[in-house]
Homo-oligomer: A and B are copies of this chain.
Amino acid sequence: MKSMVLYVTCSNEQEARSIGQKLLKERLVACVNILPTIQSLYWWNDDIQEDSETAFFAKTTDKNVDAAITLIKASHSYDCPCIVALPIEKSNPDFLQWIKEQTTKPHDNE
């Protein structure tokens, strides 16, 4: 099993918290770290726009990533949100075990 860090940007802190709670309720991530407000720059029509956003990191395993992306997309106010999974190359083994336990739903062991 491989573990990953999801990096997701949201329109504001309320949206980040709401999506983070949904991911936890479905046991699709082990924990969520919401960063303070960021400033985002991107092209919009023919100009470079700047907007405030809120980003979060969430830790999960490869087997949960697709379902986490699907849930985030369904809950997100953007048509095309930024949801990227970064591979974890090394970690303390007890933390990897904790991620696994936190994202294991009761029926996984039936």
Give A20 to B20 CA distance when docked, in angstroms: 28
Q: Give the number of chain A interface residues (Cβ < 8 Å).
A: 55
Q: Is the CB of A33 within 8 A of B9?
A: yes
Chain B residue with Cβ nearest A96:
B84
Complex interface: chain B residues within 8 A of A21 (CB): 41, 48
Chain B residue with Cβ nearest A69:
B92
Taking the closest CB of chain B, its distance from the CB of A58, in whole angstroms, is 9
Q: Is the CB of B24 within 8 A of A57?
A: no
Complex interface: chain B residues within 8 A of A62 (CB): 90
Binary contact readout A1-36 vs B (1 if CB under 8 angstroms, 0 otherwise)? 001110101000100010011001100001111111
Interface residues of A (CB under 8 A from B): 3-5, 7, 9, 13, 17, 20-21, 24-25, 30-43, 48, 50, 53, 55, 57, 59, 62, 65-66, 69, 72-73, 79-92, 94-95, 98, 102
